[in-house]
Amino acid sequence: MKFTTIVGTRPEIIKLSTLVPLLDKKYDHSFVYTGQHYSPTMRDVFFDELRIRQSDYSLNAHSSDYSKLEEEVYPCLERENPSYVLVYGDTNSTVVGARAAKRIKSKLIHLEAGLRSFDQRMPEERNRIFVDSVSDYLLAPTVLTKTFLEYEGYKNIYIVGNPIVDACKKYLPRALKRKTKDNLELDDEFLLITAHRQENVDDPYALKELVRHLSELRGQCIYPIHPRTERRLKENEINLPENVKAIEPLGYFDFLNLLYNCSVVLTDSGGVQEEAITLKKPCITLRENTERWETILMGANRLFPLLHNQGSLSDAVEEMKDKSEYIRGLKNPYGEGNTSQKVVEVIEMIVGE
């Protein structure tokens, strides 16, 4: 039985780092990396640090453009001709992998199915809705995401959790051995910031609003800056406020170290919202909406849209700090760290059928 897994971005590398070895043991399994993230700081460091085997196909799309990605991915799948193709999440690589799987008539398995922001302006929302619509099997992370899929009329839904929990739990002990926080001379109440989404950094006005809100924050702020964000700041001659220290993108261990040690994380990333609840850290999502509604409903996360918002980001930070003890007692809605094993068990059942 032949399987192919398709990934293309840094978050996918991290999340599937615990699943790929299990699939390698069980099946004739090929692993395709599309090259959607191609900067060494966004790709190579994660393969090396997490000790993930090299992909069977390391493609050179060097783009997030659908047509360029498909030009690279389709010939690989045609050559492999797998019975099943596994795609993850909501990236352009996911969409292209799904399209290619349908072209060669492979069965398609979508891991992290059912997430919904209910905002069709988001390319990720359009991507995940499309991939769910063409998938043969839907592996949802939570009861809520399964409910969304059921209301949309889908069958063959399985709740497995999210493999980011597996990755966090596996790599945290090694991450805590690093001296990241000490080397950066950070105190115990520092804030961690990640912001890179198109709606927050590509529009100069939105980027200025991000900077304005960040300037209100009190205390130390550390910002591992995404290459696109850094580029947009330079292009628009916008400077980060003095209270925010920008640093180069981090490897996963260094990032986990900072997330574990920060008082609050402010982010526009979906994956960081999951990592925050896994490490029991208060989170503020710098967006109008989220597809991780579980964390909002539990009170471990709150939304803070940047545009046309006269509210105080500093007050929001203090509000979430006050919830720290409560958040430490919450159960993780995304699982307890055995998602990869659950995925393999579901696949075994599917193959058996």
Q: What is the pLDDT of residues 173-215, one digit of tens each?
A: 999 999 999 999 999 999 999 999 888 999 999 999 999 999 9
The answer on 152 and 7 residing in a single domain is: yes
The answer on 277 and 175 residing in a single domain is: yes
Which of 11-15, 77-81, 142-146, 280-284 shows the lowest per-residue confidence on average (mean pLDDT)? 11-15
Average pLDDT, the chain: 93
* Residues 232-252: tens digit of each pLDDT: 999 999 999 999 999 998 989
State the pLDDT at residue 284.
98
The answer on 266 and 210 residing in a single domain is: yes
State the pLDDT at residue 128.
97
Count how many domains the chain has: 2
Question: Percentage of the chain surpassing pLDDT 70?
Answer: 96
The answer on 310 and 234 residing in a single domain is: yes
* Residues 100-136: tens digit of each pLDDT: 999 999 999 999 999 999 999 999 999 999 999 999 9
Catalytic residue among 37, 110, 196, 226: 196
d(CA 54, CA 95): 22
The answer on 194 and 71 residing in a single domain is: no
- Give Cβ neighbours of residue 58 (< 8 Å, ≥ 6 apart): 33, 35
If one compares 227 and 211, the residue with the highest pLDDT of the two is 211
**CB-count burial class (<10 Å; 0-12, 13-18, 19+) for 319:** middle
The answer on 195 and 238 residing in a single domain is: yes
The answer on 126 and 41 residing in a single domain is: yes
pLDDT band for 13, please (50, 70, 90 cuts).
confident
* Residues 144-170: tens digit of each pLDDT: 999 999 999 999 999 999 999 999 999
The answer on 192 and 157 residing in a single domain is: no
d(CA 161, CA 336): 8
Task: Inform me whether the pLDDT recorded for 353 exceeds 90.
Answer: no
The answer on 264 and 210 residing in a single domain is: yes
* Residues 63-80: tens digit of each pLDDT: 678 788 888 899 999 999
The answer on 67 and 26 residing in a single domain is: yes
- Give Cβ neighbours of residue 151 (< 8 Å, ≥ 6 apart): none
The answer on 114 and 42 residing in a single domain is: yes
Domain extent, residue 32, equals 2-162+335-352
State the pLDDT at residue 333.
98
State the pLDDT at residue 44.
62
196 is catalytic: yes
pLDDT band for 347, please (50, 70, 90 cuts).
very high
The pair of structure tokens assigned to 12 is 């996918």
d(CA 132, CA 137): 9
Give the CB-side neighbour count of residue 258, counting CA atoms within 13 A: 25
If one compares 58 and 110, the residue with the highest pLDDT of the two is 110
Output the CA–CA distances (angstroms, integers) from residue 35 to 55, 123, 247, 328, in the order listed: 11, 19, 24, 37
The answer on 272 and 198 residing in a single domain is: yes
φ, ψ at 90 (rounded to 5°): -145, 25
- Whole-structure pTM value: 0.93
Output the CA–CA distances (angstroms, integers) from residue 283 to 24, 120, 163, 189, in the order listed: 35, 24, 19, 14
The CATH number covering residue 267 comes to: 3.40.50.2000
State the pLDDT at residue 38.
55
